[in-house]
Structure 1
Amino acid sequence: MSMTLALQRSVQATPDRIATVFHGRHQTFSEYGDRVARLAGALQSIGMKAGDRVGMLGVNSDRWLECLMGVWWGGGVLNPVNTRWSVPEIVYSLDDSDTGILVVDDHFLNRVEGIRATAKRMPILVYAGDWPTPEGMLSVEELIAAARPVEDANRAGADLACILYTGGTTGFPKGVMHSHWTLWSIGIQRLAQTPMPGESVALHVAPLFHMGGIGRALVQFIAGDTHVLAPAFDAREVMAIVERERVTDLLLVPTMLQALITHPEFDCFDLSSLKRMVYGASPIAESVLERAMEALPGVAFTHSYGMTECGGVTSNPPENHGPEGRASGLSRSAGRAGFGIAVKVVDDSGNEVPRGEVGEIIARGPNVMLGYWNKPEETARALRDGWLHTGDGARMDEGGHVFIVDRMKDMIVSGGENVYSAEVESVIARHPAVQACAVIAVPHAQWGEAVHAVVVRKPGAQLDDAVLLDHCKGFIAGYKCPKSIEFREALPLSAAGKVLKRELRERHWTGHSRQVS
């Protein structure tokens, strides 16, 4: 299968249906398909060959979706760049994947000089915005206008489609490789689990560089329905768009959902068009879920648990969110294995544990990644005997419902963003006044979890929170930087000299039913 087949079907069957809506711009599938075919030809004319990587650095927009399909139509591989990254993180992903073309929108032109100054291979820069084209960049609009539409390159099946960078346990991001087949499977599985009868209108608020965002876009492409795009999450603007465009489908992380239902103007907007709400990326507080279902009584809620490496793993359907599901506790589960996916909970030796006991979730299915780009050792650790090891601790009941209880890998989820402790620790350790450090997750009322650093200064060194935080901001994205810093004389160590992070976490998580939030 090829993801471009979905577009071919829409252009043929429903050419006049609205494909994208962004900032007042509406284009049909016929118009969108023509721009995609021309953009593919333009990218080929500036050097993109089959399998070459093309980066997209921009907020959600119609042009982002044109780039997505345009790269695939022309035979390339998309590198969706995390817009919250610092310049060194962006450059790492470009260098690591050998990205030869980088499309940049208005919002990130201030990153271009830093990329130019530090990238090992300077990619060809293409400007996708509404202002005059900056010096040294090509205009995407001029390229599309001058290009002739080309035939679909028809890369499909096991051909690489995209590299999605996620945090790394070694301190460097990992490029998750997805083929056309794995992406098609992710989209079909989501569509099967959350059917959309009739024409749907989906609002993309979750960033498209995330699996959550791009996965939702795949669903909409396969269904041949309308994409409405918001450049960033703003609760009031989301409600205004839902009312104006009669949005039927919305995917939010719990922090977004909480901001939406607690907004002082919530009752001022007509949200009656909403039919389906998918939430995920981090656990949700019961109080938030209860209030959301009360505030949006006509909406079917679904919880999706997954990861960049495979899209969805389990799905908790609307029926588990009703009175019976809440009374039985099933509303607090992550649901059962998704369609076409096998899920087990295993011990350290890979043996399935008895129902009710805690172990690691592993998954197998056509949606699982090909591996990590240029990281064979990390790939081998994650993919064992055909199973993807998630690093998440959970228990499974007799009905196959999965309950997440802990995170076995050293990762923090803050506002739906994954932060690997090793990556933050690596940056903190670079400061000359730091002797040792450990980074842990602590509960946070708004973001679910927050990054907390425990630091040991070198003897005689002077270092305070503000200085260390400024240091971190020079290397990593703001959401990865510590929200709180604690200085100690020493870190608790095991007999083998390993930092005992459970001891560091203990006082912060006392009284919580699970060790993730």
Structure 2
Amino acid sequence: MIVPFSVSDFLARAAAVYGERTGVVDEPTQPAPSLGDVTYARMAELARAQAAKLESLGLGVGDRVAYVSHNSARLLTAFYGVCGWGRVLVPVNFRLSVDEVTYIVQHSGARVVYVDPELKDALADVEAEHVFVIGEDDDMFLFDTEPTPWEPDENATATINYTSGTTARPKGVQITHRNIWTNATTFALHAGVTDRDVYLHTLPMFHANGWGMPFGMTGCGVPHIVLRKVDGAEILRRVQRHGVTVMCAAPAVVASVLEAAQTWDGEVPGRDRVRIIVAGAPPPTRTVARVREELGWEFIQIYGLTETSPLLTINRMRQEWDDLPAEEAAAKLVRAGAPALGCTLRIDDEGEVLARSNVCLEGYWEQPEESARALEGGWFHTGDGGVLGDDGYLTIMDRKKDVIITGGENVSSIEVEDALFTHPDVTEVAVIGVPDEKWGETIKALVVTTPGSQVTEQELIDHVKGKVARYKAPSSIEFRDELARTATGKLQKFKLRAPYWEGRDRQVN
């Protein structure tokens, strides 16, 4: 017997088994009216009502619905109200500029766009067949109407997640129902999720579908605590108030919690209870040790990409390491980890990490050549350089593709270079990632200007901020007389990066 996987399976189980349990605690302070505490039964009703509303607008199976939103109960519900009835959710990074959002909406062909109230003025020029402001519930839900059931197709696209990579424009990663189902269940298994957990959404839900937590946690009946904006002290308060046991975070979020703990009054909440799952870039060994010592939280490291739903590897304390000194244990935990169940890794002759798994993307939306390149030979090409140890654990050593991970966000160096090239005084530019204690990496631009130019570092940074999302702007600019190139005129960025990473074993931080 083969029963097709569907994202709707997770909410269906939660509503059936945990219907009267609080499924989500919405952010209490936000521009849209908070939904408050929502039971899983009510969440299922809201999902059906959203599907009915989309059907009333004429959207059929496969049509795209874009959400530009901070974390909210409505966005969490949309993973089911949109995808559970065969339509495609396009979660959009709310930090992007209006031009970037417009490109994603147009490229994905989204017929409906939901915009966070805080962004409605900034994104007023975004056009689609229907544009609604989140929180105006008459525009989102249609009750007392049963939507037409969808016959699940596990190979159908469930979400399109746009990610920065080797091109100036972001690529739309097609994630199927099968991808989501496999990622959510294996992630929950490796993280030891049970119905006694409480999950805090410190991770943006738009980011690789919240790493699959909106699905895995729901299927296990775990209450979701929505956090709209990241703040270290507020994270600690939510842990204390709601009895949080698990969260996901980029290294910068970990740093903010450690900083807040320094001035916390009394014992830091969650000791011996919270596990924090970290990805984006491996934090320093000392940071891992501090999480375990100062917070008393379990530190779990994972590695993956938007293209892999995202879980490829997981690294958490194991029995054999229990008696190791803190620094030695931390050194083992900063590795990317061992392959997740059902994932096979290998390193090709050029040192690139390749992966085979049911979590790997279907392809890039309307980019067949990019899809073929990424999935060449039946393996997903990660673009990361790494090594596999004798114990099967992966360590990421370098990024082969032109991507910088700063604060957990992927930034295409090519996109930043394109923005700099629009300034009339810029003749050559190379954008690289350099190590940073807070953000893991920060963006540096090496720039050659026209003869006699008086343009300043701050002027160029401001220029970039006017072209792309602010977090993509360089934090520093270094003016050069020339940029070294190969005989064929190509920049060798690994050589440009090398002086800034001197003394480090890896070219990622």
Query: TM-score surpassing 0.5?
Result: yes
| 1:414 to 1:493, Cα distance in 2 relative to 1, 3 A | same
In the alignment, structure 1 residue 229 sits paired with structure 2 residue 226: yes
Shift of residue 272 of structure 1? Answer: 4.2
Say if 2:434 and 2:441, in contact at 8 Å, map to a contact too: yes
TM-score normalised to the size of structure 2?
0.93
Bigger drift between 455-464 and 489-498 goes to: 455-464
Does 466-475 or 433-442 show the bigger shift? 466-475
**Residue 343 of structure 1, CA deviation:** 0.6
The match for 1:354 is: none
Question: Partners of 1:197 and 1:94 in 2: how far apart?
Answer: 37
The residue that corresponds to 2:31 in the other structure is none
Task: Render the CA deviation track for 1:115-148: whole Å, top value 9, x for unaligned.
Answer: 24xxxxx23112222xxxxxxxxx3345525552
Match of 1:334, SS? Answer: coil
Q: 2:328 matched to which residue of 1?
A: 327
Residue of structure 2 equivalent to 1:135:
none
Alpha-carbon distance change, 412 to 22 in structure 1, aligned in 2, over 3 angstroms: same
Does residue 345 of the first structure (1) align with residue 353 of the second (2)? no
* 1:279 and 2:278 aligned: yes
- Which deviates more, 321-330 or 273-282? 321-330
Alignment of 1:408-427 (within 5 A): 408-427=400-419
Q: For 1:48, which of 59, 66, 69 is the aligned residue?
A: 59
Structure 2 counterpart of 1:189, one-letter code: T
Identity %: 33
What is the alpha-carbon distance in structure 1 between the residues aligned to residue 418 and residue 444 of structure 2? 14
Structure 1 gaps, min length 5: 117-121, 130-138, 349-358
How far 1:386 sits from its partner (Å)?
1.2
Q: Which among 128, 136, 143 is matched to residue 134 of structure 2?
A: 128
* Cα distance, 1:447–1:212 mapped onto 2, change above 3 Å: farther
Instruction: Give the SS at the match of 1:347.
Output: coil
- The range that moved more, 67-76 or 446-455, is 67-76
- C-alpha deviation, 1:447, in angstroms: 0.6
Q: Which amino acid aligns with 2:79?
A: L
Distance 1:172 1:147, change over 3 A: farther
Q: Contact 2:156–2:177 (CA<8 Å) still a contact in 1? A: yes
**What is the alpha-carbon distance in structure 1 between the residues aligned to residue 142 and residue 400 of structure 2?**
51
- Aligned partners of 2:399 and 2:508 also within 8 Å: yes
1:315 touches 1:334 (CA, 8 Å); kept in 2?
yes
Counterparts of 1:393 and 1:112, CA distance in 2? 38
How far off its partner does 1:321 sit? 6.5
Deviation of 1:267 (Å):
4.6
Cα pair 1:20 1:226 within 8 Å, conserved: yes
- 1:2-401 equivalences under 5 Å are 2-24=6-28, 25-116=36-127, 122-129=128-135, 139-141=136-138, 143-144=140-141, 146=143, 148-150=145-147, 152-211=149-208, 213-263=210-260, 264-268=262-266, 269-272=268-271, 274-297=273-296, 299-310=297-308, 311-319=310-318, 322-324=322-324, 327=328, 329-348=331-350, 359-401=351-393
Using the TM superposition, give the Cα deviation of residue 168 of structure 1 relative to its aligned residue in structure 2, in angstroms: 3.2
Paired residues of 1:73 and 1:152 also in contact (CA < 8 A): no
* Deviation, structure 1 residue 214: 4.2
1:273, CA displacement in angstroms?
Answer: 7.6
The 3 A distance-change label for structure 1 pair 404 and 432 is same
Letter of the 1:327 partner, please give it. Answer: E
Offset, 1:254: 1.3
Superposed displacement of residue 91, structure 1: 0.6
Partner of residue 355, structure 1: none
CA offset digits 1:369-419 (Å, max 9, x no partner)? 001111111111111111001111111111111111111112111111111
Q: CA deviation at 1:73?
A: 2.8
Rounded Cα–Cα distance in structure 2 between residues aligned with 1:394 and 1:182: 24
Task: Give the partner amino acid of 2:303.
Answer: Y
Q: Aligned partners of 1:374 and 1:11: how far apart in 2?
A: 36
Distance 1:266 1:345 in 2: 45
Counterpart CA distance in 2 for 1:6 and 1:218 is: 6
* Counterpart-to-counterpart distance in 2, 1:220 and 1:340: 20
CA contact (8 A) 2:433 2:497 kept: yes
CA 1:439–1:147: 2 relative to 1, 3 Å: farther
Distance 1:327 1:115 in 2: 51
